């Protein structure tokens, strides 16, 4: 289940509301992709030692209950390997409150590298181990960062206001010619 902050405008600024909408939507995308990884893992187990082809993608699509996800099998010429590509295109839309009726649409996808050591036959254990250490951990971390961003929005606003105040004091104290002339690199 995804954790989200209420998207009702409880006296929030339009900017905060837009950020909240966008971030909640991204949390939903990460949650859907995590669920898709579970589906892929189950299907990859069924195709252990079999050739990676469209039948694998069809099996994944059949098991998929999240209808808004797209699955495809891609060949990576550079790395000479096949990848399952999972895309969440429809869930990446959110309503902006600044422009009435305007919706932002984006896409998001993740890839699972299929480990095929012999004759393009899938090594399910290696593929799933790689998927768990790479893709799944990445998505969990990104989802947690989004949730943390929602919680820290007001704190960031205060820090930004303080920083602007300090820049204003600096700008008033020093001439334009002098501002930024001193290197602030650590020694």
Quick check: is 173 in a domain?
no
Quick check: is 170 in a domain?
no
Over the stretch 23-39, which tens digit does the pLDDT of each residue have? 888 888 889 889 999 99
Quick check: is 176 in a domain?
no
The Cα–Cα gap between 111 and 30 comes to: 13
Quick check: is 89 in a domain?
yes
Query: pLDDT confidence of 186, banded at 50, 70, 90?
Result: low
* 44: nearest Cα among 111, 133, 128: 128
**What is the pTM assigned to this prediction?**
0.75
Over the stretch 121-165, which tens digit does the pLDDT of each residue have? 899 999 999 888 888 899 999 999 999 999 999 999 999 999 999
Spatial contact of 39 and 50, defined as CB atoms under 8 Å apart: no
Query: pLDDT confidence of 7, banded at 50, 70, 90?
Result: very low
Range of the domain at 120: 14-158
Quick check: is 106 in a domain?
yes
Place of tokens 């900017």: 15
Query: pLDDT confidence of 11, banded at 50, 70, 90?
Result: low
Is pLDDT of 12 > 90?
no
Q: Residue 128: how many CB atoms within 10 A of its CB?
A: 21
Quick check: is 184 in a domain?
no
Quick check: is 63 in a domain?
yes
Quick check: is 8 in a domain?
no
The pLDDT assigned to 22 comes to 85
How many domains does the chain divide into? Answer: 1
The Cα–Cα gap between 89 and 45 comes to: 26
Across 7-16, 136-145, 178-187, which has the greatest mean pLDDT?
Answer: 136-145
Over the stretch 49-103, which tens digit does the pLDDT of each residue have? 999 899 999 999 999 987 688 899 988 888 888 889 998 876 555 555 444 444 4
């Amino acid at each position: 289940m995804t954790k989200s902050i209420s998207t009702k405008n409880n006296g929030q600024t339009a900017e905060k509301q837009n950020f909240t909408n966008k971030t909640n939507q991204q949390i939903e995308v990460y949650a859907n992709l995590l669920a898709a990884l579970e589906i892929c893992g189950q299907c990859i187990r069924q195709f252990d030692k079999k050739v990676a082809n469209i039948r694998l993608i069809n099996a994944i699509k059949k098991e998929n209950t999240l209808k808004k996800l797209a699955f495809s099998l891609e060949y990576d010429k550079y790395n000479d390997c096949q990848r399952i590509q999972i895309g969440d295109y429809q869930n990446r839309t959110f309503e902006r409150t600044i422009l009435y009726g305007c919706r932002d649409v984006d896409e998001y996808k993740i890839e699972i590298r299929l480990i095929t050591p012999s004759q393009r036959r899938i090594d399910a254990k290696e593929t799933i181990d790689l998927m768990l250490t790479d893709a799944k951990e990445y998505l969990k971390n990104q989802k947690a960062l989004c949730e943390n961003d929602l919680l820290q929005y007001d704190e960031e606003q205060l820090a930004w206001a303080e920083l602007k105040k300090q820049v204003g004091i600096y700008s008033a104290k020093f001439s334009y010619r002098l501002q930024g002339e001193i290197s602030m690199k650590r020694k």
